Structure 1
Amino acid sequence: MMKDQEIEKEEKVNKLQWFLFVIVIPLLFAIALTLVITTIAGVNVFDVAKKYGAKVPGVSQLVGETKTTSEQVLKKNIVEQKATIEEQKMKIKELEKEAENKQKQIDSLKQEIERLNAELSAKQEEEAQSSSNEAKQTVQDISKMYETMSPKNAAAIISEMSDGDAINILSSLSSDKAAAILEKMTPANAAKYTALLTKRAEASTSE
């Protein structure tokens, strides 16, 4: 009984070996050789297989499904790209609107600054006119008062005066006091009053 089983097993193994050596291996070799030859000849075996496979019902259905899937993916990508473009357009419009609102705020602030400057100029002119009409002290008397005042306070007051009044006071002060006051002014005001004092000195010299 054991011998029969062993003989049967050997027969199965022999049949499998025969199948591998006689059918499978030669078939694989033939396929490999065919692929090499067709490749050297410039024929794309896969394209040919796809072309003729499309005519076979089962294969053609598979090819058709693949094509349909590719088209669906492409259409989906196109729809997504369009949605992205529309979203970007909306964001651009929002940014443009925001920039427009910011510009309106800037224009409004500029107008407010201009109005305040106009009010300040009118107030300064009114104060200067009132001071010139009501003041009974001479420039010398006022100069004495500024000589005793701190340079910082004097600079703050003189900067608010008209150019004529400021130059009258500064020119009547001692050189040290005038220099100390100019040092406490902003660079712009200090440069302006220095230039005016220079012009007055030149005019006095020419006379």
Structure 2
Amino acid sequence: MKEQEIGKEIETEEKVGKFQWFLFVIVIPLLFTIALTLVITTIAGVNVFDVAKKYGANLPFISKLVGDTQKSTEQVLKENMLQQKATIEEKTMQIKKLEKEVKNKQSEIDALKQEIKRLNDELSAKQQGNTTSPPLNEKKPTVQDIAKMYETMSPKNAALIIPKMSDQEAVNILSALGSDTVAAILEKMTPADAAKYTALLTKEAQANGQR
């Protein structure tokens, strides 16, 4: 038994001795040599990693790995640039479309303002009366004449102009229009204005019925 134990101890010591020999004779000197080489090359101004990359690129496997990585990165950048360019073009088209719509709306508003001003001037002149006598061959516009003008006007424009008048003027014109035209104009008004003129027209109709 003692001989077996002694044999095991000797075998263990031999294994430990071999490991220590490998560590002190090979590993430590190798690490020291590598560290010393890095220090010397750094002092000499040589970038060891760049050199390793340069020579490693000549090796088939490493050069292929580096090339694939660069190609993949370039492809991703190219795809991102194309996607951003497409997004910019889409947004630019949307902006141009909105600008065109705003311009058209502004033109329509300006035209309506001019029409409202013209009609208000005509109505004001009619209310105040002319200080000079009109020529004998000149016929003053009647309510029916104005109503005919509103018959040819779009309901939307008429709905914008009529609320600018006095209640009596508006009722006179609406009363002279056909029922379909009046309905179309009231439909384009705000709910408050539509209710107001409906009540005024009803009151006017009742008053005419009692006469």
TM-score scaled by length of structure 1? 0.52
How many Å apart are 1:129 and its aligned residue? Answer: 8.0
**In structure 2, C-alpha distance between the alignment counterparts of 1:93 and 1:39, rounded to whole Å:** 60
Residue 123 of structure 1 aligns with an amino acid whose one-letter code is: K
In the alignment, structure 1 segments of 5+ residues that lack a partner are 131-207
The alignment status of 1:113 with 2:87, answered yes or no, reads no
Assess, with a 3 A threshold, how the Cα gap between structure 1 residues 105 and 19 changes in structure 2: closer, same or farther. Answer: farther
Q: Where does residue 146 of structure 1 map in the other structure?
A: none
Q: Where does residue 102 of structure 2 map in the other structure?
A: 99
Matches within 5 A, 1:179-198: none
Q: Where does residue 93 of structure 2 map in the other structure?
A: 90
The alignment status of 1:34 with 2:65, answered yes or no, reads no
Q: Deviations over 1:60-114 (max 9, x none)?
A: 1111122212222221222222123222212322332232233223223322332
Q: Where does residue 48 of structure 1 map in the other structure?
A: 51
Q: Where does residue 65 of structure 1 map in the other structure?
A: 68
After superposition, the CA RMSD in angstroms is 2.7
How many Å apart are 1:128 and its aligned residue? Answer: 7.7
How many Å apart are 1:6 and its aligned residue? Answer: 4.2
Alignment coverage as a number of residue pairs: 130
How many Å apart are 1:52 and its aligned residue? Answer: 0.8
TM-score scaled by length of structure 2? 0.51
Local SS of the residue matching 2:29: helix
**In structure 1, C-alpha distance between the alignment counterparts of 2:26 and 2:62, rounded to whole Å:** 25
In the alignment, structure 2 segments of 5+ residues that lack a partner are 134-211
Residue 74 of structure 1 aligns with an amino acid whose one-letter code is: L
Assess, with a 3 A threshold, how the Cα gap between structure 1 residues 100 and 3 changes in structure 2: closer, same or farther. Answer: farther
Which structure: larger Rg? Answer: 1
State the identity %. 70
Q: Deviations over 1:165-204 (max 9, x none)?
A: xxxxxxxxxxxxxxxxxxxxxxxxxxxxxxxxxxxxxxxx
Residue 17 of structure 1 aligns with an amino acid whose one-letter code is: Q
Assess, with a 3 A threshold, how the Cα gap between structure 1 residues 82 and 116 changes in structure 2: closer, same or farther. Answer: same
**In structure 2, C-alpha distance between the alignment counterparts of 1:120 and 1:5, rounded to whole Å:** 127
**In structure 2, C-alpha distance between the alignment counterparts of 1:86 and 1:65, rounded to whole Å:** 32
Q: Deviations over 1:107-128 (max 9, x none)?
A: 2332233233223322233388
Comparing 114-123 with 63-72, greater Cα deviation is found at: 114-123
How many Å apart are 1:53 and its aligned residue? Answer: 0.7
Q: Where does residue 76 of structure 1 map in the other structure?
A: 79
How many Å apart are 1:2 and its aligned residue? Answer: 4.6
How many Å apart are 1:3 and its aligned residue? Answer: 4.4
Q: Deviations over 1:138-159 (max 9, x none)?
A: xxxxxxxxxxxxxxxxxxxxxx
